[in-house]
Amino acid sequence: MQTLLIALLSGVGFIVAYHTYGRWLAHKLFRLDANAETPSVQLNDDEDYVPTAKSIVFGHHFTSIAGTGPIVGPALAIMWGWVPALLWVVFGSILIGAVHDLGTLVVSLRNRGMTIGEIAGRVINPRTRLLFLFILLFALWVVLAIFGLVIANVFVAFPESIVPVFLQIPIAIWIGLKVHRKGGNLLWPSIIALFLMYLTVWFGAACPGLEWTGGWLGASIQKLNATLAAWPVWVWAAILLAYCYAASVTPVWILLQPRDYINSLQLISSLGLIVVGLTVAAFWGGVSPVPGAGRMPLEIVAPALNTSPLNAPPILPFLFVTIACGAISGFHCLVSSGTSSKQIKCETHAQFVGYGSMLTEAFLATLVIIAVAAGIGFGWPAKFGTLAGAELWHKLYSDWTTVSGSAVGAFVVGAANLLEAMGINHTMATALIGVLVASFAGTTLDTATRLQRYVVQELAATFAPKISPTSLAAEGYDTEFDRGQVVKSHSWNPLVWLTNAHGATFFAVITAFALALFPKPGDPWTWATIGKGGLILWPLFGSTNQLLGGLAFLVVTFWLWRRKLPIWSTAIPMIFMLIMPAWALLSDVARWWHKGQYILVVVAVMMLALECWMILEALLLWPKANGVMEKALPPLPARSSAMKPSAG
């Protein structure tokens, strides 16, 4: 009952926070206005800027921010105990993470859908814009390189998830075309899409329940799954990045929006199934790994607190960078200001999309903690036989250096055990959770590709030859709306080519693939080992990602400061999120230096230098900025009468 109570109290806490603190932020601090014209309406191009229904934007935002971060982080950080992990998820998301996501979303809405890097140039100064964009370029480069590996590992470990993930693409295109062209109510298309998606999961799980037909269909699917799971990691990286290229250059309503939306339906319903399974297991117990044994009681088998796990870094500050997406993640500011702000059609939807999505993700992280702390106690037969309970947990979590490779698996098995407690077939239960993880990672990957495209275009437009350089200098900054000032006739210039959507996306996927092609540090160059190059720089990502969150808070705080609005709700989290990640990164630098990992040291020092430079620029300007508004945006060009409004 303890585990069920934790889930219920956390869920209620998130709902209360949304309707109290979230409402205060939306209506009193940011003063959202239902009558304000949003960027998606002002700049509607039917490609990137598309006015969209609130539920679809929520689905896109939620699935984009909730990659494997809220799964891997809590599943790993639970080594320090489930209590500190849970406290950071609950209070971090309410007071820091959701404020960060909402704040960056609102500031972008008020700046024509600009990315957070562009806005930094407006509210602080042009140099911070470039510093911010280079930090974003690095962070997204690592994300693109590593997420292909993450998805490939899920495919290898849980091959039942492969076919459903790819079958969902045509379902997404169907619902995108139907809703965008014909409009109308989303209810029936959503129900049909959800049914088809669960049907694909059943198919990928080799059609359990049809064994009476002779089993030929199930055997054929299992053979297909095994064949696909045996493909090398670099092949999957190439396939996934090729898909991301298509998703990035096509209008958002064709693939990106609908896939994220239908995935959100499946993912949220799957979370509901986990809660139902948790309830059943709490009252009647779960299935034992010992054949013929009775049901096992549900109990927390992880320690409440363990400050010194074997080979683990200290809980302070590393808890706050290990659990990122479930509490606060700098990557979210890219989604808020990069894609979601270009789709919201009514400003008041920002609370639901920004604050609400983060709390939903936090609830996912809460369920991950419960699944790993208690659900895993029912056993992991495929890996540990009949071992179960606290003995299994301590064997699985005996050493920090080895558990990172099985953290995702611990959640998949623990959550599947909860589903199995309510009578769902074991293979089907594993497939459901495996698809959940792969889908989260996939939707983050395609959104990250689009975000990297924006960053590359913005940087290229800054340095490419301009029609009127003096007029841009007078503005004091370059914005993405200045791309029209680039001299297109200089097509031989690679910077001009990179201002194009196809050129920027090609650059994004090729550079990510180039990094991914390297083998893991210490491995030889073979066809079997390449494809894991993202791991070279991945140790940097946790701290730099959280520092990015602190810098995003800095931009939002400056925006409030210039308007003489209260800053405590963003300034306090800003200070916390600048100190903790920097502390962790400095600790890592010392450790990497002693281990001779000089590439990590050099890149870490460069990142710290860029971020310190940006903070210094802000500190120098801070006393002069209170009540002084940034320069007004240039007027928009006259809108074409032929511009087609979007359905939604």
pLDDT, greater one: 214 or 457: 457
DSSP state of 476: T
Work out the number of other CB atoms within 10 angstroms of the CB of residue 631: 11
Taking residues 631-644, report their average pLDDT: 66
The more confidently predicted of residues 192 and 210 is 192
The pair of three-digit structure tokens given for residue 70, joined into one six-digit string: 């809220």
The structural domain count of the chain equals 1
Q: Which of 634, 486, 488 is nearest to 122 (CA)?
A: 634
Alpha carbon 525 to its chain's center: 31
pLDDT at 500: 86
Q: Classify the C-alpha dihedral 173-174-175-176 as positive or negative.
A: positive
| 343-358: average pLDDT | 97
508 within some domain = yes
* Position 473 pLDDT exceeds 50: no
Please report whether residue 633 resides in a domain.
no
Instruction: Measure the CA dihedral 331/337/340/345, to 10°.
Output: 160
CB proximity list for 641: less than 8 A, separation 6 or greater: none
> If you average pLDDT over every residue of the chain, what do you get?
89
Rounded Cα–Cα distance for residues 529 and 35 (Å): 55
Q: How confident is the model at residue 216 (pLDDT cuts 50, 70, 90)?
A: confident
Band (pLDDT 50/70/90 cuts) for residue 638 is: low
Decide if 85 contacts 319 (C-beta within 8 A): yes
pLDDT tens, position by position, 474-505: 433 344 445 455 555 556 778 888 888 899 99
> What is the Cα gyration radius of the chain?
24
Q: How far apart are CA 414 and CA 420, in angstroms?
A: 10
Between 253 and 351, where is the model more confident?
351
Domain membership of residue 643 (yes or no) is no
Q: What is d(CA 32, CA 340) in angstroms, rounded to the nearest whole number? A: 16
Of 295, 336, 258, whose CA–CA distance to 100 is shortest?
336
pLDDT at 506: 95
Q: Which amino acid belongs to residue 612?
A: C
Whether 348 maps to a domain, the answer reads: yes
* Range(s) of the domain holding residue 74: 2-83+97-625
Task: Determine, yes or no, domain membership for 452.
Answer: yes
Asked if residue 580 has pLDDT above 70, the reply is yes
The whole-number average pLDDT for the span 543-549 is 93
So what's the pLDDT on residue 150?
A: 82
In angstroms, the CA 68 to CA 368 distance is 11
Please write the tens of the pLDDT for every residue from 392-415: 998 999 899 888 778 888 999 999
Handedness of CA 561, 562, 564, 569 (dihedral sign): negative
- Of the CA atoms within 13 Å of residue 166, those in its CB half-sphere come to 15
- 8 Å CB contact between 345 and 354: no
The first and second tokens of residue 165, run together, are 């993930």
Q: How far is CA 163 from CA 171, 222, 236, 243, 435, in A?
A: 13, 11, 13, 15, 9
Is the predicted pLDDT of residue 164 greater than 80, yes or no?
Answer: yes
Give the model confidence (pLDDT) of 77-133 as tens digits. 999 999 999 999 999 999 999 999 999 999 999 999 999 999 999 999 888 888 888
Residues constituting the chain: 648
The predicted pLDDT at position 618 comes to 93
Which residue type does 44 have? N
- Tell me the two tokens of residue 486: 């680039």
Which pLDDT value is given to residue 487? 55
Predicted confidence at residue 471, as pLDDT, reads 43
In a domain, 565, yes or no: yes
Residues 6 or more apart whose CB falls under 8 angstroms from that of 67 comprise 147, 150, 325, 440, 441, 443, 444, 445
Biggest distance spanned by C-alpha atoms of the chain: 80
Whole-angstrom distance, CA of residue 522 vs CA of residue 375:
35
Tens digits of residue pLDDT in 38-86: 999 999 999 999 999 999 999 999 999 987 888 989 999 999 999 999 9
Q: Is 539:600 a contact under the CB 8 Å cutoff?
A: yes
- What is the share, in percent, of the chain residues with pLDDT greater than 70? 93
The secondary structure of the chain in percent helix, strand, coil, rounded to multiples of 5, reads 70, 0, 25
Window from 36-40, 345-349, 473-477, 595-599 with minimum mean pLDDT: 473-477
Residue 638 counted as domain residue:
no
Q: Where are the alpha helices (DSSP H) in 374-524?
A: 381-384, 389-396, 400-403, 407-421, 426-463, 469-475, 494-498, 501-516
Q: Is residue 455 predicted with pLDDT exceeding 70? A: yes
**Residue 23 domain-assigned (yes or no):** yes
Contact 55, 261 (CB under 8 A): yes
pTM for this entry = 0.91
